[in-house]
A and B are shown apart, each in its own frame.
Chain A
Amino acid sequence: DGGITQSPKYLFRKEGQNVTLSCEQNLNHDAMYWYRQDPGQGLRLIYYSQIVNDFQKGDIAEGYSVSREKKESFPLTVTSAQKSPTAFYLCASSIWGGIAKNIQYFGAGTRLSVL
């Protein structure tokens, strides 16, 4: 089935630890995105990538890092510098360019909690 797979579904982080959230898509989409969702806050953009080996910061990039070595993969690392990491993290992808092509499709999310 075509789609976006996020793993794990649940993740716990100890203080001072870096953790990596996985996002893989088989939709052949050019662009991929990471969002953070907190209660009552909607979706806030962390990073996005339009093409392989290139990515841009979103509104809340501090304390996070990403890589885009393959078209289908866009992992997000939550570093120890992120002081409030507890949230629901959503990955999305889309074709890049053109009005109709900016429909984003989402994975099922990863819920990160701090121990």
Chain B
Amino acid sequence: EDKVVQSPLSLVVHEGDTVTLNCSYEVTNFRSLLWYKQEKKAPTFLFMLTSSGIEKKSGRLSSILDKKELFSILNITATQTGDSAVYLCAVLPAPNTPLVFGKGTRLSVIA
């Protein structure tokens, strides 16, 4: 059974801290890994990773994939209260199959 595990499940940090969110997976025929941010309602797309070792970056957020060890991390530097959200990791296990989602990490950034 395809599985995506995120850790930690929840995290509380102070503004300005750097955080690392983890996503490990066990799927057949891995194709890609995606990160989403969910604040109140609709998850919004952050990154898609397909190759090991290539960092994707957007502002203070960055992500990297390790296909050998089957995990990805999402880093957020200089956190702000606006980063408070649930961060979802999803994996595409094979062509023409739906994404498999993890349970998410709830990040709370306090002033």
Contact = CB atoms under 8 A, between A and B. Distances in A.
B103 A42 contact: yes
Interface stretch (A43-51, A66-74, A78-86): A43-51
Interface stretch (B13-21, B58-66, B67-75, B90-98): B90-98
Interface string B14-41: 0000000000000000011010100001
A102 interface: yes
Report whether over half of chain B's contact residues are helix, strand or loop; otherwise say mixed. Answer: loop
Contacts, number: 55
Contacts of B9: 40
Interface residues of A, number: 26
A42 B106 CA distance: 11
Nearest to B95: A97
A99 interface: yes
Given A40-B103, A58-B98, A108 B42 contact: yes
B43 interface: yes
